[in-house]
Each structure stands twice: as C-alpha cells, then as structure tokens.
Amino acid sequence: MALSVADKLQIARLIDELGIRFIEGGWPGSNPRDQAFFDEAKKSLRLTNAKLTAFGSTRRAGIRPEQDGNLAMLLAAETPALTIFGKCWMLHVTDALRISAQENLELIHDSVRYLKERVGEVIFDAEHFFDGYADDPEYALKCLQAAADGGADYLTLCETNGGALPEVVEAAVRYVVAKLGTPIGIHTHNDGELAVANTLAGVRAGARMVQGTVNGIGERCGNANLVSIIPALKLKMGFDCMTDAQLKQLKHLSRSVDEIANRTPWNAQPYVGQSAFAHKGGVHVDAVKKNSRTYEHVAPESVGNERRILVSDLSGRVNLEMKAQELGLTLDAKSPEARAILERLKELENRGYQFETAAASFKLLVDEAFGRRPCYFNLRDLSVNVRISDSPAAQARGLDDQAGLRDTFDTTASLEIEVGGELARATAQGNGPVHAMDQGLRSLIDKFYPSLEDVRLIDYKVRVLSSGSGTGSFVRVLIQSTDGDEVWDTVGVNHNIIHASWDAMVDALEYKLVKDGVTPQGERTTQRRRVSSVHPVAIAKS
C-alpha cells in the first residue's frame, strides 16, 4: 500500500476525529514522501484530539546524539511527541548492531534523554521485546530501565515477529508493569493471527497505551487492528477510551481508509464489515426480531454499522418481513403474499438467483407479488451483433488472419421498446454486447424518464453456475448501480448471458423509477411484460 501526502493528511484528520491520542506520521528523512508529509503537517494539519508523532531509531553507535542525523530529522519535524525504537533482544544487539550489551543500553538512554530535553513527550518502542524477554528477561528489562531513566513517557513492548501466544504476552507485560513505574504500551503484529488477542492480553496485564493501525494494515501479515481492538476495550473491557459518538464513527473510518488506499473492504471484518451483523437463517432472524442480543454480541449501531437481513432459500417468513421493513415496505409474515413470495424466492434461488446482495431486485419481487410493480416499458425486439474486423495494425503490416491478428470486435445492439403504446427503436455501438445494449436502451428510455440520466453502472459481475454444461451453463449477473446518492444491486440469471444481463439491467433502472415514485408513461399497467423476442448473438466475419 502506498499513500500520497494528501492521502496521509486526510487519514490523519479522520483518525483525529475518532479520538485517537497519538498519530504516528512516518519516519522523517527516510524518504521524500514522509518528509513532505511532516513539512505539510506544520502548515495545514490542525488536530483536535491527537498529537502528531514522528518515528525513528536510537542514535547510531560511535557518535553522540547531537551528531546523529536521524535524531536531528526527528526534532526538525517539530511534532509535540516523538517515538524511537531500540533493540531489546540480545540476538539483534550482537548480530544486527554488532555492539556490546552495555553500548546498546547507552544508545537507548542517550537517545531518549537527548530527545526528552527538547520535546514534550517521548515514546520508546522496545523492539522484539518478547523474544528478548524469552531469551534473557534480565537484559530486556535493563533496556526498558535505560529508556525510563532517560525520561521516556511510555515504554511500548513490541511483539515484532508476531508469533507469541496471548498467555506469553500477558505474563511478560504483567512482570514489567510490576517492576517499572513508567506507563507501559503494547504493540503487536499479526503473523500468528493473534495481534488483537495479544493486544487485549497486554491491556489485561496492565498496558495502557495500545499501538495499532486502521484495518490492521501493516508489514507482512499486518499490525494489530484498531478497528477490532477499540470496541473490545470500550464495550467489553470497560475502558472509556472514547465517547459513544466517536465510536459510532468507527465504520466510517474503516471504509474511508480502504477507499483512500484503494483497497476492497473486507466484508467479514468484525464490528464494521458488511456481513458483521447479517442474518440469514430463519431461526436466527426470528430470534433477532424478538431480542437482538440472541445473535448479536454488540449493537451494530454502536460502531456505526447496521443490521442486514438476508433473503435466500434458507429464509423463513420472518426474514421476509424484516427485510421488507428494512426496505421501507409493509409485509405481514403470516399473509398469503408472504407465503407466495417465499415460494417464489425459493424457486428463483433454485434456478441460481441470489438476493443476498441484490436487495433492489428483491424489492421489485415484493412489489410484483402485490401487483404493484409498474410497467415502465416493454422490450419488443433486441439483436446484438459482434463483427470481427481487421485490426489497423494488422492491415498496416499486410498480415492475414492466419497470423491471429484480426482482433477488433465491433459490437452493435439494435432494440425496439414500447413505452405507453409508443414504439421506439435505436441502434448503438459499445465495447461489448452488454455495453452496446445498455447504450441503446439508455438512448431511448432516458427521453421518456429523464431521472434515469443520473443512473450509472459502477460494477458488473458474472458467475457461471454449476450445471455441468460447460460454456452452456447458466450464469448469474450482478449489477451495481448508483444515482450519486444511493448504491443498489440487481441480479439476473439465464443460460444466455445477454438475457441475464438484460434482466439485471432493467431491474436497476426500474428500481430507480420506483424509488423516485415516477408514474409510467401512457398505459398504467401493473404487469411487466417479459421479453417477446430476443435474437441470439450473431458473430459475423467481415
């Protein structure tokens, strides 16, 4: 992951809003981007809750602190707090630094003392502390004492390799807390998928500074995930580390960082993921309706998330009722309509439909069951033509198709629709069959329903369903659309990918019209007439 200076400034502001106490901004002088970040931070970054912290190492061996360029760059960052790391494992002292045990203690003490005389707060990160403690607990403790004697405000015990178990971390932290009076911090990595557990074990043993990252982003397998740690501290361990209002921003922070970093959000991420409070089985949904604590360990709104009721062939009528409520619809779980919808739902899912991530199509399904789904237009004719033509490069070189270079596919869609008794026809070209079909439909339908001009497709997924038919298998098409205010998903299934795409695309447009309360043009029928004529894709060699 790489962040620009503007990205880092934006994320710093988001973290500050959450109520985090310290924000480590990078290592000034190690690379131009981090240096530029601290230069810009001096000019434009105004924090309310957090203190910006620059990060670096202890002085180099053989020189005095005032001669060390790294310490000079830290001070030049002009942050109210500084963080430096030092070696606490004899293996690193002898094999990495190649100095004596005593000289390493002097590096730590001198560096902390020098910085503390010039800045408000100094945090000492005891690198590889738990490995060092396992090998030589007496020397590991001496390293911490050297930093404490130098004036460190916090001593952070770092589980740098990420392989320790929670009971090991807890015992070591408890020992250090009993021996030293300086506040202790905990910094863990996720190489054993225990970073969150190890952090909470450290806090349980007396650590009072927690270091981590948003969404656990970090080297190798990642750092401790603050998005999981913070609600555990506040909601489960009783630490008043931020206000209720700040905690409700947690999902927003998590998603914002993923968006800035151009990462796909983890749907199953605890607390803030899209699936964290999603319920599917009928037994679960029925219980949640009666008392949400039956299947939710915290209230989803406490961390800025929301409950999601999924509908599938595992659904009961209560699922339908709660999903309808979620969509702003009224549906009695015991009504004949609910039974009919449930049967229809199971029938469609047996054919390959999936409504768990296609709530817009489900809403239209409910409307159709009640006979209130408007008919905005009907497709009368559709043909999609893909023509293979010579590529300009091949023509220029005089190559024939035996060379395999005739690779330009020109795609054209011709369609006719009926809107309120009026026929309209259009022909459009596109990058492929679905794009051409979409371009042609939109050139027609937008004239009758101008509000559709705001709708655009933002994601398109195709999945081949297991049928043993190879390329003749049924496919499921999921389309995600937006009008700038809302994002919605629709689904279509057919053995013909064009047909499946058409159904998903029409659902996407009709959902927008229903959502906006648009009245159909001309004839006000409530029955949507299906495709009357869909010609197969024609591939012709020009």
User: 335 or 394, which is more confident?
Assistant: 335
Burial class (CB in 10 A: 0-12, 13-18, 19+), 197: buried
Per-residue pLDDT, 355: 60
pLDDT at residue 524 is higher than 50: no
475-482 β-sheet, strand order: 456-464, 475-482, 487-494
Per-residue pLDDT, 288: 73
pLDDT tens column, 348-357: 666 666 665 6
Least confident of 133-147, 207-221, 376-390: 376-390
pLDDT at residue 425 is higher than 60: yes
pLDDT tens column, 303-316: 998 877 665 544 55
pLDDT at residue 329 is higher than 70: no
Q: The whole model's pTM is what?
A: 0.67
pLDDT at residue 34 is higher than 50: yes
User: 138 or 417, which is more confident?
Assistant: 138
User: 523 or 57, which is more confident?
Assistant: 57
CA 32/CA 27 separation, integer angstroms = 10
* Mean pLDDT of the region 387-400: 57
Neighbours of 47 (CB within 10 A): 16
Share of the chain above pLDDT 70, in %: 81
Beta strands (DSSP E) in 209-298 are: 209-211, 278-279
Whether domain 378-541 has CATH 3.30.160.270: yes
Q: Where along the chain do the CATH 3.20.20.70 domains lie?
A: 51-260
Per-residue pLDDT, 530: 41
pLDDT tens column, 102-141: 999 999 999 999 999 999 999 999 999 999 999 999 999 9
pLDDT at residue 2 is higher than 90: no
Q: Where along the chain do the CATH 3.30.160.270 domains lie?
A: 378-541
Q: What CATH class has 51-260? A: alpha beta
